[in-house]
Amino acid sequence: MTVTEIRASTVLPARREQITLRTSDGLSLVGELARPAERDPVATLICLHPLPTHGGMMDSHLLRKASYRLPAMADLAVLRFNTRGTSSERGRSEGEFDGGEAERHDVAAAISWCTAAGLPALWLLGWSFGTELVLRWGNDPAVEGAILLSPPLRRAGDADLDAWAASAKPLLVLVPELDDYLQPPQARERFARVPQAELIAVERAKHLWVGEPYVRIVLGEIVRRVNPAAWPLPAEWKDSP
């Protein structure tokens, strides 16, 4: 048996598949699906990345590390993709950035792809700009719930929060204490409109969650909500020889 300490660069076993999403307005979006290597997933994360005009993409570090670790450690399928006009090592998605408006088609394409693929228990995982897409366009009947990392609440407004409240779908909100846009006191006030929202303030964390301790907190909270049987996440990975 091989024991691997989980580090920032650790990549654990998974079935990784390059995918292409087709939007209803005719674009092709590049992405990747990572699934457990030897089992069916118990739930699925659809990742929506930070602002592409500020470097956000499917490889933004929290989303990349979720895909590297959670299929093996928590039996989750992790779908990452570049929204329209966004580039990464995987390639460039067609179209142009539209400030969160036409990206509604990108969110719908990802949900539809996962549904058609028979993936179980769809959860949206949005980070920064991705949280705006979740709140505005992700309240879909096929989605079980959502996780928000560093929500700015700039594009998403009270009407979007009220719609999530009415849906009664679970909403987990992780807010860095030192966030550049929305800090815990203001976040608690804004998300009070969503009775089922669980808000967690993370001490000393910043908007970009830089540092392995914060990555572990984020991934641990995701798993606690989506597949509690796999929580807490271990610090080591034991692989068969």
pLDDT in tens, 220-230: 999 999 999 99
**Structural domain contains residue 241:** no
**Structural domain contains residue 240:** no
**The two three-digit tokens of residue 131, written as one number:** 């949280």
pLDDT band at 239; cut points 50, 70, 90: confident
pLDDT band at 238; cut points 50, 70, 90: confident
Q: Is the pLDDT of residue 212 over 80?
A: yes
**Structural domain contains residue 65:** yes
Question: CA-to-CA distance for 135 and 194, rounded, in angstroms?
Answer: 12
Write out pLDDT tens, residues 52-94.
Answer: 999 999 999 999 999 999 999 999 999 999 999 999 999 999 9
**Structural domain contains residue 35:** yes
Q: How many domains does the chain have?
A: 1
Write out pLDDT tens, residues 12-38.
Answer: 999 999 999 999 999 999 999 999 999
**Structural domain contains residue 145:** yes
Q: What pLDDT, on a 0 to 100 scale, did the predictor assign at position 2?
A: 83
Q: Is the pLDDT of residue 241 over 60?
A: no
Q: Is the pLDDT of residue 123 over 70?
A: yes
pLDDT band at 114; cut points 50, 70, 90: very high
**Structural domain contains residue 169:** yes
DSSP-H helix ranges across the chain:
61-74, 103-116, 129-137, 158-167, 184-191, 212-226
- Provide the mean pLDDT of the chain: 97
Q: Is the pLDDT of residue 119 over 60?
A: yes
b/e code 49-72 from CB counts within 10 Å (16+ = b) = bbbbeeebbbbbebbbbbbbbbbb
**Structural domain contains residue 104:** yes
Query: What is the span of the domain harbouring residue 121?
Result: 2-235
Q: Say how far residue 98 (Cα) sits from the centre of its chain.
A: 20
Q: Average of pLDDT values for 125-141? A: 98
Domain of residue 201, CATH code: 3.40.50.1820
Q: What pLDDT, on a 0 to 100 scale, did the predictor assign at position 180?
A: 96
Q: Is the pLDDT of residue 1 over 90?
A: no
